[in-house]
Structure 1
Amino acid sequence: MSHPDADGHLHGAQLATVLRPVRAGNGFEEALEQILQVVRLGLVPGGERLPSERELAERLRISRVTLREVLKVLQDQGLVAARRGRYGGTFVLPRPGAGGEDELRRRVEGVDIEDVLRFREVLETGAAGLCASHGLDGVRAGRLRTALAATHDAPLADYRRQDTLLHLTLAELCGSPSLAAQYAAVRASVNELLDCIPLLVRNLEHSQRQHTALVEAVLDGDADGAREVMREHCGGTAALLRGFLT
């Protein structure tokens, strides 16, 4: 089972990583990109409510008018739904199941998958090494342990979301906001591809052993070990995706 209080704290911190003030010239486009990342990363799970219009507008530093245009696009794409009333707001709709190989190939068109996977590996191994080298204090170490526990306790249907949150937590704790923001963007692209392939229990068991070894290395201050485990972990995901693409 998930840990609501800690989970909420994790999501708030990671929302701050993804939702940043946009540049004036591309306010609409950048706001759309960032809220799409929130949805694809599972920072707000299916069936739950996005932050309020006021909070989103303040975080992104855009007008309510621009924000409503962005939310309208997400509604038209079937990603969110607006509800009125006291408990209303904009709710993320549950994602459909895996779309199979045809959908995977469609999403890959126009995407340099090798570039995405290499960039992901560089960012992930860098974040793991930085966390181990700099050390995590009690609160931050606790956040990493909580994120790991959530992956162990997650039901199969929620595993990928909790996996994403663990990796985002590590990126956010590394001390480089630029790295964390870049990782959030590349992970959203990876998730679009992972959503199309089946969850394989044997692969998940292997991933969980790697997650545990990774967190232990980070908390032990073993930077080389953390980087090596992360490199191997990223390689497993890359192999799965290449396998389904070939």
Structure 2
Amino acid sequence: MGAQADRAVDPGSTGANAGDALFRPVRAGNAFEETVERLLQAVRLGVVGAGERLPSERELAERLGVSRVTLREAIRALADAGYVESRRGRYGGTFVNESLPAPREHGRRMDAAALEDALSLRHVLETGAAELAAARSLTPADRRHLTGTLAESCAADLTDYRRKDSRLHLAVAEVTASGSLTTAMADARMRINQLLDEIPLLEPNLQHSNVQHEAIVDAILAGDPAAARRAMAEHIEGTASLLRGFLN
């Protein structure tokens, strides 16, 4: 193990340009999700090769601009998914596994253009739906629908989370009173769910999503279209970071 332990990545060596690009500060709104994306990109692009050690926890946290708690959660998620392993001792650290998981459980790696197409459509539809919902005078039934689906998604366990999450997002479209928008959202959501089914459920991400869901619903109920649009945009960009990291 001693020889392998010496194969630690030096971000200032020949891979410096790629390393500098990937290990740059993440945005605060989706720190966990973007950290997972950056680390996955570094592994899958070979910036940190098979058997090599990632930069130290302290260095990575500083370069990514995240807390060490967030970084550890991201590394734990990648370890659970089979990308890295943590070792203790003198030659310890976080090492990239010699054999990496297949990009997708069924079939080839996701085509980058197709992924971006699905994410772009979702961004336009869902941010617009949140903005439109907040601009309407909601009925008491609309308000109950939003708060009810929010409560169900927050209380959902891992086995039922995707379904409850989808139901909440569709509820936002439903309270716009636009049948065409709701239909388009349902179609787009089916595409997104097919992608989400290919990546692991990460508990820190689900906890973060629940907080973001509350912010979206609060802004809609408060009648603040700009805040609703911002909250939705931040939320779906976090999901996009995970999808890009795992599927590209």
TM-score normalised to the size of structure 1?
Answer: 0.57
- Asked if structure 2 preserves the Cα contact closer than 8 Å seen for 1:104 and 1:197, the reply is no
- In structure 1, the partner of 2:38 is none
Which of 181, 185, 198 lines up with 1:196 in the alignment? 198
Call closer, same or farther: CA 1:162–1:193 in 2, change over 3 Å: same
Unpaired segments ≥5 residues, structure 2:
1-100
2:231 is matched with 229
Do residues 168 (structure 1) and 170 (structure 2) align? yes
Task: Say whether the 8 Å CA contact 1:150–1:162 is kept in structure 2.
Answer: yes
Of the two, which has the highest radius of gyration? 2
Identity of aligned residues (%): 48
Deviation at 1:102, TM superposition (A): 2.7
2:138 corresponds, among 136, 149, 169, to 136
Q: Distance in 2 between matches of 1:101 and 1:231?
A: 26
Residue equivalent to 1:117? 119
Distance in 2 of aligned mates of 1:126 and 1:103: 33
Q: Contact 1:135 / 1:218 at 8 angstroms: preserved in 2?
A: no
AA of the residue aligned to 2:155 = D
User: 1:239 pairs with 238, 241, 247, which one?
Assistant: 241
Displacement, 1:100?
6.3
2:221 maps to: 219
Q: What is the aligned length?
A: 148
**1:150 corresponding residue in structure 2:** 152
Contact 1:103 1:196 in 2 (8 A): yes
Matches for 1:14-33 after TM superposition, within 5 Å: none
Q: Which residue of 1 aligns with 2:94?
A: none
Flag the 1:138–1:241 CA change in 2: closer, same or farther, 3 A: same
Q: 1:197 to 1:100 in 2, by over 3 A?
A: farther
Instruction: Return the letter of the residue paired with 2:138.
Output: L
| Residue type at the aligned position of 2:185 | Y
Q: Alpha-carbon deviation of 1:115?
A: 1.1
Q: 2:130·2:220 contact (CA, 8 Å) conserved in 1? A: yes
Q: CA deviation at 1:175?
A: 1.8
> In 1, distance between residues paired with 2:228 and 2:132?
9
Residue 40 of structure 2 is matched in structure 1 by none
Q: Which amino acid aligns with 2:126?
A: E
1-side partners of 2:171 and 2:109: how far apart?
Answer: 26
CA contact (8 A) 1:145 1:215 kept: yes
Tell me the TM-score normalized by structure 2: 0.57
Shift of residue 110, structure 1, vs aligned partner: 9.3
Cross-structure match for 2:42: none
Unpaired segments ≥5 residues, structure 1: 1-98
CA contact 1:127–1:174 (8 Å) conserved in 2: yes
- Structure 2 residue aligned with 1:31: none
- For residues 64-107 of structure 1, the C-alpha deviation after alignment (integer angstroms, 9 at most, x for no partner) is xxxxxxxxxxxxxxxxxxxxxxxxxxxxxxxxxxx963326637
Q: 2:161 aligns with which of 159, 162, 185?
A: 159
Instruction: State the Cα RMSD in Å.
Output: 1.9
One of 181, 184, 187 as aligned partner of 1:185: 187
CA contact (8 A) 2:109 2:247 kept: no
2:226 is paired with a residue of what secondary structure?
helix
